[in-house]
Structure 1
Amino acid sequence: MSKTTASLSAGEKLNFLLTNRIPRRWLTLFMGWFSRIESPILARISIAVWQCFADDLRLQDARTPRFRSLMECFTRQLKPGLRPLDMHPGVVCSPCDAIVGACGRIEGNRVFQAKGFPYSLDELIPDAAQAARYRNGQFVTLRLKSSMYHRFHAPVDCHVSQVDYVSGDTWNVNPIALKRVEKLFCKNERAVLELRLDDPGYSLTLVPVAAILVASMKFHFLAEPLDLKYRGANRITCDAEFVKGQEMGYFQHGSTILVFASEQYQRIAGIDEGHCIKVGEALLTGHPLPGRA
């Protein structure tokens, strides 16, 4: 038995068994169908059951207090003003509400999903030239719990000209699975978005990763959602301009966004594993800022 396996509690092992030893694809497709059923009564019952397991579900922050379906609750918008933006020049804001997972300096092209579980940028990002721009750069793993706000926003002013869609599995992306499944992010369904910046010397890429019960990513600038039923091109061209904080899309449940930054960037002080962050809060900086590390 490995040291990692031995360190897991019985509860953690049971969680892993229930979420990763079942027909993930079919459960995810079923959840997608079920969550779209428009029945306010069914939605209220489903949300009440959900709240028994998620004590941090803050529906009082939602713009609309009532939901016709479970998906409306999953993809809820927030009341205006709840997520102020850090507008300091050079600051990269968090694109989502999340718990920070593994993060730090990229070792050449090697990244860690958890301690002792590395993967390479080339295995995650299909475009080799794009992956090479992040050698020795920074990475931050942002985990969106199912109870969190599921919409994601532009972390900087940027332009998106293409999305690389990679079809794959739907492993759970919680910390337990990340300690058990090698190269999990490289196996799961995902989208790769390179953010074109005004300064060509700086590079940023977001990689939203789907997971069990999710496997559906909706980008407002693409005609179709990217999900298990998608049969279109893997490289999707587009022409989308964003200002910092503008909404880009949403997951239909909790999941993960991987942030990759070129080596000029530094993490803001306090952005470490376990830190809770909100949309619009400072995540990285490319320039020295007064009072910031």
Structure 2
Amino acid sequence: MESIQYHNRETGALETEKVYGESFLRWAYGNPLGPLALNSFIKKPFFSAWYGKRMSTPESKSRVAPFIAEYGLDPADFAESPDAYGSFNEFFYRKLKPEARPIDRDANSVVFPADGRHLGFQKASAIEGVFVKGQKFDLPALLGDAALAEKYADGALVLSRLCPVDYHRFHFPAAGIPSETVVLNGPLFSVSPIALRKNLGYLWENKRTLTRLETPNLGTVLCLEIGATCVGTIAQTFAPGSPVDKGAEKGYFAFGGSSTITIFEPGSVLLENDLRHHSAKQVELYAKIGTRMGYAS
């Protein structure tokens, strides 16, 4: 299988992703025996819950230092020292120092909700060929609501993919008042490109959460979190109905890589040039939470 490449906004270079658990993913989604294991237990919530518990034991703490070394993480960004975490899971959804992720101050900007590799499309209903030719994005299935999908069909959509090596808290892309979160239950397939090249539908089949953010200048922004294999928890840490600032923490994923999806009302946002340029070539753009992904149009 081909490697996963992305454009790094910070370095300006095309880079190759170092995939955590790559051999397992390539076996599960590329080996003829993989579908049997996927459908028998890997996609089941109990498997992710079991693995999540393993990562929450005191013994799992021994994994922290080797992980930091192997993936080149900078402990200076962490809110706590690496030896302060009681388990690998606590380290996994660690907080960062505020200065490690400054929020774009332009009043008209919207920011990436998470560290990760992003694809952005100006028109949600026109998305096709994501990760592999012939795959079309199913917005009604994602939202679980045909009328809501019709309202947002011509709006901008940004898919933000978090790898296990990334900071795993997600944030609000704009200021506003968030609703209660709705949970749409489903299985827990991987959302790595290794899996999505086989079936993009994992994004709208998997368990996911949906929050509506009422904003002063963008209308209602839809904020979704997508569960995935070994994601034991999608935790929401905000207070529904209370105003939030742009870049404020919304929640976190417990162990496992996952994704967020942000969808805007038609005509409300113009995505950044580099995001649109690389996405048109099916190349993800790496950027950090708080940096600009677009601006009010």
TM-score for the superposition, normalised by structure 1: 0.79
CA drift of 1:90 comes to 1.8
Secondary structure of residue in 2 paired with 1:162: coil
8 A Cα contact 2:121 2:127, kept in partner: no
Secondary structure of residue in 1 paired with 2:98: coil
8 A Cα contact 2:212 2:222, kept in partner: yes
8 A Cα contact 1:153 1:248, kept in partner: yes
Write 1 or 2 for the structure with the bigger share of helix. Answer: 2
Q: Cα deviations across residues 178-221 of structure 1 (Å, max 9, x unaligned)?
A: 1102411111010011111123x633211110100104111014
Query: Which residue does 2:259 correspond to in 1?
Result: 256
8 A Cα contact 1:109 1:134, kept in partner: no
CA drift of 1:109 comes to 6.8
Secondary structure of residue in 1 paired with 2:252: strand
8 A Cα contact 2:234 2:253, kept in partner: yes
Q: Cα deviations across residues 77-122 of structure 1 (Å, max 9, x unaligned)?
A: 1123111111212211111111114x31335475664342113211
Match for 1:63: what amino acid? Answer: A
Task: State yes or no: 1:35 paired with 2:55.
Answer: yes
Write 1 or 2 for the structure with the bigger share of strand. Answer: 1
8 A Cα contact 1:158 1:197, kept in partner: yes
Query: Which residue does 1:239 correspond to in 2?
Result: 241
Task: State yes or no: 1:62 paired with 2:75.
Answer: no
Query: Which residue does 1:195 correspond to in 2?
Result: 213
Query: Which residue does 1:270 correspond to in 2?
Result: 274
Matches within 5 A, 1:91-240: 91-101=109-119, 103-106=120-123, 108=125, 113-115=130-132, 116-199=134-217, 202-221=219-238, 238-240=240-242
Q: Say if 1:240 and 1:34 are closer, same or farther in 2 by CA, change over 3 A.
A: farther
Match for 2:113: what amino acid? Answer: P
Task: State yes or no: 1:280 paired with 2:290.
Answer: yes
8 A Cα contact 1:111 1:139, kept in partner: no
Structure 1: gaps (5+ residues): 1-6, 223-237, 288-293
Of 187-196 and 16-25, the range deviating more from structure 2: 16-25
Of 58-67 and 276-285, the range deviating more from structure 2: 58-67
CA drift of 1:130 comes to 2.8
CA distance, structure 2, for counterparts of residue 121 and residue 190 of structure 1: 13
Match for 1:166: what amino acid? Answer: L
CA drift of 1:127 comes to 3.3
8 A Cα contact 1:216 1:251, kept in partner: yes
8 A Cα contact 2:54 2:60, kept in partner: no
Query: Which residue does 1:232 correspond to in 2?
Result: none
Q: Say if 1:107 and 1:190 are closer, same or farther in 2 by CA, change over 3 A.
A: closer
8 A Cα contact 1:195 1:206, kept in partner: yes
CA drift of 1:240 comes to 3.3
Query: Which residue does 1:16 correspond to in 2?
Result: 29
CA drift of 1:162 comes to 2.5
Q: Say if 1:142 and 1:108 are closer, same or farther in 2 by CA, change over 3 A.
A: closer
CA RMSD after TM alignment: 2.6
Percent identical residues: 23
CA drift of 1:151 comes to 0.6
8 A Cα contact 2:124 2:139, kept in partner: no
Match for 1:247: what amino acid? Answer: E
Match for 2:56: what amino acid? Answer: R
Equivalences, count:
260
CA drift of 1:51 comes to 4.9
CA distance, structure 1, for counterparts of residue 179 and residue 237 of structure 2: 13
8 A Cα contact 1:217 1:251, kept in partner: yes
CA distance, structure 1, for counterparts of residue 258 and residue 182 of structure 2: 18
Secondary structure of residue in 1 paired with 2:293: strand
